[in-house]
């Protein structure tokens, strides 16, 4: 009966204002990181929050965005992307407001106003507003046929267009761009990827790893141009071509822009919270207001922002510990591993990925199986690891980087992984 009473108290009263006196936790945004935070929080036998309110801009509850590429390729259904059933939220006393994003935060009154005009009280507020596709500022970006690849709505539109058109250009050779390109190619489209850096996934891979990925994806039918940039998207109303910086024209029916992301900070900035490229938080994910927190792609720790889900998951655990039991252990972004799978090819990187004057490189490359390992060592300690094709030892390498172990005793076998080193 108690849970039913609290659940009923969620509805706004008088002047569309929730006047309940129970301690209320509100979350702005309902992506994968916010959902992981909720799961960590309610997994505890007890937590101090009597009401948990979740406000989402999308009409769907949290879904697996990583699987959008599988949905685009036809290997997944929308139903399979759902992270939890509707019953799960009600069982844990969580009220989700789909398609009702927060429009305004009043920090002095400890209230928020949604786009429907309803007002809710909060005692602690978590901002998980995510990010959006960054636009490179090209002429023609607003033509019909130019899209991002961030959510279900984008994916549905790309699937629809792939059924009516045959050519696509993807701007950006990062993770999202390559996932979009692979999905469209598997739908039968002729896809060209444009990437301004000299090699693909230049933030996660070294040059050799990027070249191996280039060759593997070209063998799968993608056309890839690195070290080149578009200067304009051409067409009168509908996109017809992309012009490159060497004056080449690539005819196309569809353009996907995946050239980075831009954190959604407007809600925080308008509320007077400190922001830089993203919402500034400390190691406990606390903003400049001690009762407001931020995590995921919308937050910035020191100079670091986050475009992949793994750091967000670690932040979710840190914040759930803090808001669930008062555990103040912090988040350290310095050794967060990157684990990706592009077109079925496993990739792993952790720590430093580019050699410098203070590091030595240990390289292992099996040309027959196209497996590659590069380890960066500084002062007999592992400083970074890049793996391509076989990533089974990735977690072990990341543990060595995190612990700063002296690897002198096993250095001759280090590139062969955990089993060889432990045997030695």
What are 41-82's pLDDT values in tens digits? 999 878 899 999 999 999 999 999 999 999 999 999 999 999
Residues 156 and 254 placed together within one structural domain of the fold: yes
- Same domain as 125, residue 44: yes
pLDDT in the model for residue 208: 93
Q: 173 and 268, same structural domain?
A: no
Question: Residues 278, 175: one domain?
Answer: no
Q: What is the pLDDT of residue 357?
A: 86
pLDDT at 2 (0 to 100):
36
Same domain, 126 and 23: yes
> Is the Cβ–Cβ distance between 322 and 290 less than 8 Å?
no
Question: For residue 135, is it within any domain?
Answer: no
Same-domain status, 207 and 352: no
* One domain for residues 51 and 116: yes
Distance separating alpha carbons of residues 159 and 171, to the nearest angstrom: 18
In this predicted structure, which of 126-135, 186-195, 263-272, 352-361 has the lowest mean pLDDT?
Answer: 352-361
What is the DSSP annotation of 57-101?
A: SSSSPPB-GGGHHHHHHTS--TGGGB-S-HHHHHHTTEEEETT--
Residue 262 pLDDT level (bands cut at 50, 70, 90):
very high
pLDDT value for 11: 42
Instruction: Give the count of domains, the chain.
Output: 3
- The DSSP bridge pattern shows strands 124-127 and 119-121 to be unpaired
Q: What is the side-by-side order of every strand in the sheet holding 279-281?
A: 279-281, 299-301, 304-305
pLDDT digits (tens, 9 = 90+) for 97-137: 999 999 999 999 999 999 999 999 999 999 999 999 888 89
The string of pLDDT tens digits covering residues 293-341 is 999 999 999 999 998 899 999 999 999 999 998 888 899 887 788 888 8
Q: What percent of the chain has pLDDT over 70?
A: 95
The whole domain housing 405 covers: 344-423
**Domain boundary pick from 334, 358, 390:** 334
């Amino acid at each position: 009966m108690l849970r039913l009473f609290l659940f009923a108290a969620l509805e706004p009263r008088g002047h569309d204002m929730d006047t309940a006196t129970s301690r209320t936790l509100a979350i702005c945004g309902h992506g994968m990181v916010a959902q992981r935070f909720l799961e960590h929080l309610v997994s505890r036998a007890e937590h101090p929050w009597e009401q948990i309110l979740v406000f989402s801009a999308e009409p769907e509850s949290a879904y697996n965005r990583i699987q959008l590429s599988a949905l685009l390729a036809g290997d997944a259904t929308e139903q399979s992307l759902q992270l939890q059933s509707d019953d799960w939220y009600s069982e844990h006393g969580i009220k989700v407001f789909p398609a009702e994003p927060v429009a305004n935060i009043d920090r002095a009154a400890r209230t928020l106003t949604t786009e429907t005009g309803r007002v809710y009280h909060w005692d602690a507020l978590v901002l998980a507003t995510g990010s959006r596709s960054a636009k490179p500022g090209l002429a023609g970006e607003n033509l019909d046929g130019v899209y991002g690849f961030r959510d279900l709505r984008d994916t549905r539109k790309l699937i629809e267009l792939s059924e009516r058109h045959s050519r696509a250009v993807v701007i950006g050779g990062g993770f999202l761009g390559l996932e979009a390109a692979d999905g469209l190619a598997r739908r039968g489209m002729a896809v060209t990827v444009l990437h301004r850096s000299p090699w693909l996934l230049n933030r996660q891979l070294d040059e050799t790893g990027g070249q191996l990925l280039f060759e593997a994806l070209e063998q799968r039918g993608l056309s890839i141009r690195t070290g080149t940039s578009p200067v304009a998207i051409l067409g009168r109303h509908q996109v017809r071509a992309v012009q490159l910086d060497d004056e080449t024209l690539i005819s196309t029916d569809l353009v996907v822009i995946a050239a980075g992301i831009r954190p959604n900070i407007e809600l925080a900035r308008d509320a007077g919270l400190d922001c830089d490229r993203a919402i500034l938080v400390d190691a406990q994910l606390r903003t400049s207001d001690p009762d407001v927190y931020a995590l995921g792609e919308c937050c910035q720790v020191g100079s670091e922002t986050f475009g992949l889900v793994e750091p967000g998951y670690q932040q979710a655990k840190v914040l759930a510990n803090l808001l669930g039991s008062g555990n103040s252990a912090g988040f350290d972004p310095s050794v967060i591993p990157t684990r990706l799978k592009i077109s079925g090819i496993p990739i792993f990187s952790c720590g430093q990925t580019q050699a410098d004057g203070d590091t030595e490189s240990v390289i292992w490359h099996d040309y027959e199986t196209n497996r590659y390992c590069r380890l960066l060592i500084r002062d007999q300690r592992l400083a970074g690891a890049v793996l391509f094709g076989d990533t089974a030892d990735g977690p072990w390498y990341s543990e060595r980087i995190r612990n700063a172990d002296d690897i002198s005793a096993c250095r001759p076998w280090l590139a062969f992984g955990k089993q060889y080193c432990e045997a030695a």
